[in-house]
Amino acid sequence: MAHRYKSYKVYRVIVLNLLVQALDINIYQKNLEEKLDHILKNADYEITKSHIRHEIRSNHKMTEKVLDELQKEGLIELVTREKTTLVRITKKGILHLQKWNRFYMDLYKEQIIDHYRYVGLPKWFREAYHGEEQ
Amino acid sequence: MRERVGEDLLTTLLDSLEELVKNVSRINRWLLYAIYLLLLWIFVSLLLWSFSILHFNVEDIILYAFLISIALLILFALVDIRENLAMVIGRYSAYKYMEKMSLQIPQGEDPVDRLIKHFNISLNFEKELRKRKGKIIRGSIDCGEKLYFDYYAEIRKRPLDSLRGRKSYSLFIIKMDELSVAKLEELAQKIKRCSQHRNVEISRVIVITTKELSDEVYDYLVAQKAGIPLQVAIEMEDGTYDFIPFIAPRHDMLP
């Protein structure tokens, strides 16, 4: 059976979580907002458009759409460095995810499980349910 | 055990499947011989059955009718098994293809040439087509009316192809600058008429462009609303193809 295309909204959640994972922080920790400026200032991660495309395993058009929507919402920013485009999560993006991630996980649970069925669920998916315990 | 050991899981799994696929190919060949023998059996039984009818030998009429029924039953089962085994081999080949597939646009005079080169590199397309006595037409083709396509490849069905699990084949490639749902709808209708007239299956229709797609066209394509295997290949500025939607090669490794 053909693999159905997912809505860009599912990919949007995947991209935000991928960026937070690259930042290596627990978004469910207490007083996160106060620490964010410092964390973002010292962030040293390189997620490019190609990484995003690889993660969502869709086409160029979908990758562009997802990044465009996230950028418009102010949840990410795109930084051009030499020939590559780096994707960075913003403070607003992290706080948005902190507030809504569990809701998104419940809403898109089936699609996310389907998306990762051959490679195993990512750490961020499991953490969404156990985050506060850490 | 050795064939199950490797550096990464996917490659190891595919490599271990290779042995299995080789066996399946061998079994498939034997099945083909068995089908030919069964056909001979049915033919001879039909002759003998006719003689027994002419001589009104009731016992022989019943016996040969019984033998023919059994032979037909086995024949259908074998054809079905062969078709499914061919699909297993094909799926495996498609995985292997994915493993080495490159979306880099090759050098070529125009987008159609480049796309054909891409298929030749990844699938040995035109060589495979020639091997199966297919033909290529560039320009207008007879579809009841004269219709123009930038590239058209076709393999017509031959008498024994059904038994060998082979279908007819056609690939249409059309260059377009601006895409809209209306234009794609019109194209789909044109191609449906053409395939009906030429009595070939529509295997893949590729519209090649350099322009970005509108959301409307994108949704139309991924939902496959055209009712034919329609795909757009976009030549991206970064030198790669963006295929929307992605269509896996057929089990006989044609696009």
Question: What pLDDT, in 10s, does the model give residues A2-28?
Answer: 456 788 899 999 999 999 999 999 898
Contact A61 B213 (CB under 8 A): yes
SS3 state of residue B1: coil
Whether residue A45 lies within 8 A of chain B, CB to CB, comes out as: no
- Specify the pLDDT at position B42: 94
| Interface residue of B105, B215, B246 to substitute, partner A, most A CBs within 10 Å | B246
Amino acid in position B177: D
pLDDT at A132 over 70: no
The more confidently predicted of residues B95 and B233 is B233
Q: Tell me which residue range forms the domain holding A38.
A: 8-133
Range name among A62-66, A128-132, B206-210, B216-220 with the lowest pLDDT average: A128-132
- Specify the pLDDT at position B83: 84
Q: Using an 8 Å CB-CB cutoff, list chain A residues near B242.
A: 59-61
Residue A1 inside a domain? The answer is no
Q: Give the position of tokens 């809403």.
A: A107
Q: Are A96 and A75 in contact (CB under 8 A)?
A: yes
The more confidently predicted of residues A83 and B1 is A83
Could you tell me the pTM of the whole model? 0.74
pLDDT, average across residues B10-35 = 82
Whether residue A38 lies within 8 A of chain B, CB to CB, comes out as: no
Whether residue B212 lies within 8 A of chain A, CB to CB, comes out as: yes
Task: Please spell the DSSP secondary structure of A7-72, one letter per residue.
Answer: PHHHHHHHHHHHHHHHHT--TTSTTHHHHHHHHHHT-----BHHHHHHHHT--HHHHHHHHHHHHH
User: Residue ranges of the domains in chain B?
Assistant: 2-100, 111-244
Whether residue B243 lies within 8 A of chain A, CB to CB, comes out as: yes
Residue A49 inside a domain? The answer is yes
The more confidently predicted of residues A13 and B23 is A13
pLDDT in tens, A87-125: 999 999 999 999 999 999 999 999 999 888 878 889 888
Using CB atoms, which residue from B213, B215, B222 is nearest to A5? B222
* Chain A residue whose CA is closest to B229: A2
Q: Using an 8 Å CB-CB cutoff, list chain B residues near A61.
A: 212-213, 218, 234, 242, 244
pLDDT, average across residues B49-56 = 91
How far B86 CA lies from chain A's nearest CA (Å)?
17
Domain B111-244: top CATH class: alpha beta
Domain count, chain A: 1
Contact A61 B242 (CB under 8 A): yes
- Specify the pLDDT at position B167: 80
- Whether the complex's predicted ipTM is more than 0.85 is answered with no
The region that residue B154 occupies, defined by phi over 0 for left and psi between -120 and 50 for alpha, beta otherwise, is: beta
pLDDT at A134 over 50: no
pLDDT at B120 over 80: yes
- Specify the pLDDT at position B165: 63
pLDDT in tens, B80-89: 998 888 888 8
Residue A2 inside a domain? The answer is no
Residue A3 inside a domain? The answer is no
pLDDT at A61 over 50: yes
pLDDT at B133 over 80: yes
- Average pLDDT value for chain A: 88
- Specify the pLDDT at position B189: 94
Q: What is the CATH number of the domain that holds A81?
A: 1.10.10.10
- Average pLDDT value for chain B: 87
- Specify the pLDDT at position B195: 92
